[in-house]
Amino acid sequence: MLALGKLLELTLTDREPAEKTQVTSRGVRLRWLGEGALEVRPPESDDSGLDVLLSAGIHGNETAPIELLEELLHGVASGQITPKARVMFLFGNPAAIRKGERFIEQDINRLFNGRHELTSGFEALRAAELEQFARVFFSKPGRTRLHYDLHTAIRGSKIEQFALYPFKEGRKHSRNELARLAAAGMQAVLLQSKPSITFSAFTYEQLDAEAFTLELGKARPFGQNEQVNLDKLHTRLVQIIEGTEPQADASLAGLKLFSVAREIIKHSDSFHLHLPADIENFSELSKGYLLAEDLAEMRWVVEEEGARIIFPNPKVRNGLRAGILVVPDSGQRLG
């Protein structure tokens, strides 16, 4: 296997490779771009016109997606996977990955779409660098662009594997992309309805990629991810990279769709979330339930039928989202 296939090892040991470019026996070029970043390029004669950005480790303690990308890259570097797409493998927050922590100073996945310019510190600089990696990678005209940002969650979930589909005014969510996600093992998709500050939102809104945040189970340390079954996702990613995807079922049968009813924003240190600390994502909430309170008698009461909570986190900084209230979506507005 080519040495550049060991991107994770290079990242964990904070080393630069001696050779920045290597070529497989099949003419696939691997190029080291910077810390945690590697481009894979097929020979021109095999190029399908698809650019795929695969990112993981935006949160350093979410190791199952990192291990998945390492496995895929090993396959490319050893010649077992023959790419027809250009692929960038990107480990988002190397310093946090090395420490096995979610972040060092602040949540990097809240620092995109210009948000990093409003703050300082390590993660702000890395967010700007990640944007630049993506901007350059997706700069070639006339190509199809796809970005999967792979995560695992702080808590368990009633729906273990799901995706978040960013929003851009005037752009419809794609039924075909949802079918692809279903084939990759996603059980549900949250169709977002306003701009966001995550990495996938940046590539979707600014770079015109089809982009998704994929939540793949519960976060665990390296080597302890036996309970996170990524077989379907692994198979589909290999097919995407090799250009061998079968025709997906566009009916979306079995895929649950949700839309955002409301975001719960923490405004002050007096914020209180009336949920058990171990509540799972997609837990159902009854109408009339007092969900949260904050200063100035601010209250969030559940009014929606079929409402569920995802990403509840009262420990976020003031001004940030402390949870999302979601409701079932019929999918009538899909493109």
The answer to whether residues 320 and 110 touch, using CB atoms and an 8 Å cutoff, is: yes
Give every CB contact of residue 177 below 8 A, 6+ residues apart in sequence: 165, 210, 212
151 is in an annotated binding site: yes
pLDDT surpasses 70 at 120 = yes
Q: Is the pLDDT of residue 248 over 70?
A: no
CA separation for the pair 237, 245 (Å, rounded): 9
Structure-derived torsion over alpha carbons of residues 274, 275, 277, 278, reported in degrees to the nearest 10: 180
Closest Cα partner for 332 from 225, 216, 175, 214? 175
Q: Which residue in 123, 160, 215, 280 is the catalytic one?
A: 215
- Alpha-helix residue ranges (DSSP H) falling in 56-191: 63-77, 94-99, 122-137, 175-183
Q: 72 falls in which pLDDT band (50, 70, 90)? A: very high
> How high is the pLDDT of residue 256?
96
Q: Are 96 and 55 in contact (CB under 8 A)?
A: no
23 Cβ contact list (under 8 Å, min separation 6): 29, 30
Non-local (6+) Cβ contacts of 50 within 8 A are 84, 85, 86, 143, 144, 146, 240, 243
What local confidence, expressed as pLDDT, does residue 153 receive? 87
Handedness of CA 91, 96, 102, 104 (dihedral sign): negative
pTM of the complete model: 0.94
Q: What percent of the chain has pLDDT over 90?
A: 86
Active site residue 215: yes
Say whether pLDDT at 314 is over 90.
yes
pLDDT value, residue 247: 80
Contact call for residues 217 and 64 (beta carbons, < 8 A): yes
The answer to whether the beta carbons of residues 60 and 153 sit under 8 Å apart is no
- Write out pLDDT tens, residues 259-288: 999 999 999 999 999 999 999 999 999 999
Read off the pLDDT of each residue in 163-175 and give the average, rounded to a whole number.
96
Please list the residue range(s) of the chain that carry CATH number 2.40.50.630.
Answer: 262-328
**pLDDT number for residue 165:** 98
Q: Please state which CATH number belongs to domain 3-242.
A: 3.40.630.10
Percent of the chain predicted with pLDDT > 70: 99
Arithmetic mean of pLDDT, 174-198: 95
**Residue 332 CB contacts under 8 Å (≥ 6 apart), including other chains:** none
- Residue ranges of the chain assigned to CATH 3.40.630.10: 3-242
From the candidate CATH numbers 3.90.550.10, 2.40.50.630, 3.30.300.30, 1.10.3720.10, the one assigned to the domain spanning 262-328? 2.40.50.630
Task: Tell whether the model's pLDDT for residue 330 goes beyond 90.
Answer: no
Q: Over 80: is that where the pLDDT of 75 sits?
A: yes
Q: What sign does the CA torsion over 43, 46, 51, 53 have? A: negative
